Amino acid sequence: MATKSTSNSKIITCKGAVVWGKGEGVKVEEIQVDPPKSSEVRVKMLFASLCHTDLLCCNGHPLPLFPRIPGHEGVGIVESVGEGVTEVKEGDTVMPTYIGECGECANCSSSVTNSNLCLTHPLPFDGLMPDGTSRLSKSTTTTTTAAAAAAGDPDQKQMIRIYHHFTCSTWCEYIVIDVHYVVKLDPRIPLPHASFLSCGYSTGFGATFKQVVIFKGSTVAVFGLGAVGLGVVEGARMQGAGRIIGVDINERKREKGLVFGITDFINPSTTTTDSDSSGSKSEPDDHEQHNGNNNNNNHNKASISEMVKELTGGMGVDYCFECTGVPSLVNQALLSTKLGIGTAVAIGSGNEKSGEIDLVPLLCGRTLKGSIFGGIKVKSDLPFILHKCINKELKLDELLTHQISLDEINKAFHLMKQPDCVKEIDNMDELLTHEVQLEDISSVFEVLKKPDC
Ligand SMILES: [Zn+2]
Ligand SMILES: [Zn+2]
C-alpha cells in the first residue's frame, strides 16, 4: 500500500496497527492521520519497537479505550509542523516520548525532588492529544440498505476516531504528537537502537543513575531480564557494582544477562543458583524456614528474597530493581535488600494494581520507591543515554533479535498469544514468560519500507 505524499495541511492516509477491542490483537489497516495543529508535529515513523506496556494497552490497561493504535517506542522524521512549532523542523530526526519536560513547573525545576514527571506536560492516560481530541481516524464506507444500493444511492462515509497510546501510537506510518513530547536526535544515532531508548531499556538504565547512587562494589539484584532489566544490569555494571544478581524464570536469560554484566543468575522456577552458597546464612527474622542448607528441598521452599540473601551471605543487596510489574514481587524486592540501608526500586508495569508490603522490613530502614521512565528527564537526561548509544557504549545489538515490517505485526501478536503466554498476568511465571516472548519475537518494527515515501 502506497503512502500518499502530503503537505502539512492535508490528511495522510497510511497504515496503522489498530486494536479494536480488549484482547483482540492488532489489525493493520488503512487509516487517516490529521495535519498537526499549532503546537504539534507530524512524524513519519521509521522504526517502532515493542514494549511490555503495549500488550497491556491492547488488553485495555490502564483504560479500555478502543479502537486504539498502540506503540510508545520509536523514532522518525518530522514530516510537517504546526505554525507555533520552533523546536524542530521538517526533516529532523526525532523520538516521541510519553512524558514531557517544561523545565519550569514545580517538579521540573526543583533540584530537591528532581522528579521527571512534568506537571505541565504530564503522562496522558486518556488516549487523546492535550486538547482532548485525536488526530487518528479510520474512514469506512457503508451501504445503508440493499434497496438503496440497488437504487444507485451513494455509499455513506463514516469516520471512526482512533485513540492514541499515551502521547504517540508509534505502530503507525505517521503520527501526530505535541512538540513538548518530542526529542530531537543526533542523526548519527543508529535508529533501530534509538527506538529502544524511547522506553524499556532507558527505564532500566536510567533508574540506576536517577533512582539510586551506585558505588563501586555495590550489590544489585534485578527481577526480570527483559529490556528494562538488562538496562539496569548495564547501568549498574558501568557504575562499578560488584555483584549483579539477575532473576528470571527463563534459563535463556542467563546467557543474555551475562553479556550485559550479571555476576549471578537465579532461576526461581528451577531454584538453582550459580554461586556456591555453602557459607551463606539467612537473615533470621524473616527466613525461618530456610536454614542455609543447600539442598533442593530447601531451595524449593525458598522465596526469591531468600535466594538473593543466600547469595549475599544473608545480608541482601544494596539495591533491588523490580522490572516485571508484579506487585507481590515488589515486596520480594524490598525483602531482598539490606537491613537498614537497602533500597527497592519498582520500575515494571503490569495489570495487577496492588499487593501487600511487609511493614516491619520496611520500617527497618529499607526504602521503597517507584518511578516512570526510570526517573529520566526527557530533555535534560535522555541525551546522556543517546550519546552513549552513538558512541556504541551500550549493548543494544543484543536487544535487537528480530526486525520485521509493520505488516507482520500480527505474527508478533500470534507469538505473544502462545499457550504459555497468557493475557491475564497473574503471577511471576506468566509475566516473565511473556516478557521473554516479547523480546524474542521482535524488538523493532521497520515501519517504513518504501524508499520513495
Ligand atoms: Zn514541567
Ligand atoms: Zn514502555
- 154 against 15, higher pLDDT: 15
Query: How is residue 240 written as a grid cell?
Result: 562499578
Starting from the CA of residue 120, give the closest ligand. 1
**Ligand 1 midpoint to CA 119 (Å):** 5
Partners of 78 in the beta sheet? 43
Give pTM, 2 decimals: 0.83
Query: What is the whole-number distance in angstroms between the Cα of residue 181 and the centre of ligand 1?
Result: 11
Burial class (CB in 10 A: 0-12, 13-18, 19+), 144: exposed
Q: How many CB atoms lie within 10 A of CB 102?
A: 14
Measured in Å, residue 80 CA sits from the centre of ligand 2 at 26
pLDDT at 101 over 80: yes
Residue type, 80: S
Give the sign of the dihedral formed by CA 266, CA 272, CA 277, CA 283.
positive
How high is the pLDDT of residue 406? 84
Alpha-carbon dihedral angle through residues 82, 83, 87, 91, given to the nearest 10 degrees: 60
At residue 152, the pLDDT reads 67
Instruction: Give the architecture-level CATH label for domain 12-145+156-198+375-446.
Output: Alpha-Beta Complex (3.90)
For ion ligand 1, residues whose CB falls within 5 Å: 102, 105, 108, 118, 120
The tens digit of pLDDT for each residue in 282-331 reads 343 333 333 333 334 444 579 999 999 999 999 999 999 999 999 999 99
Architecture label for domain 212-370: 3-Layer(aba) Sandwich (3.40)
Task: Locate 231 and state its grid cell.
Answer: 538496562
Q: Helices (DSSP H) in 140-219: which residue ranges? A: 146-150, 191-196, 200-210
Helix or strand (DSSP H, E) at 43? strand 40-49
- Closest of 217, 216, 233 to residue 347, by C-alpha: 233
| Cβ proximity of 102 and 74 under 8 Å | no
* pLDDT for 352: 85
- Ligand having the closest approach to the CA of 377: 1
Ligand nearest to the CA of 378: 1
**Which of 256-260, 284-288, 422-426 has the highest mean predicted lDDT (pLDDT)?**
256-260
Where along the chain do its domains lie? 12-145+156-198+375-446, 212-370
**Helices vs strands, H then E, count in the chain:** 14, 18
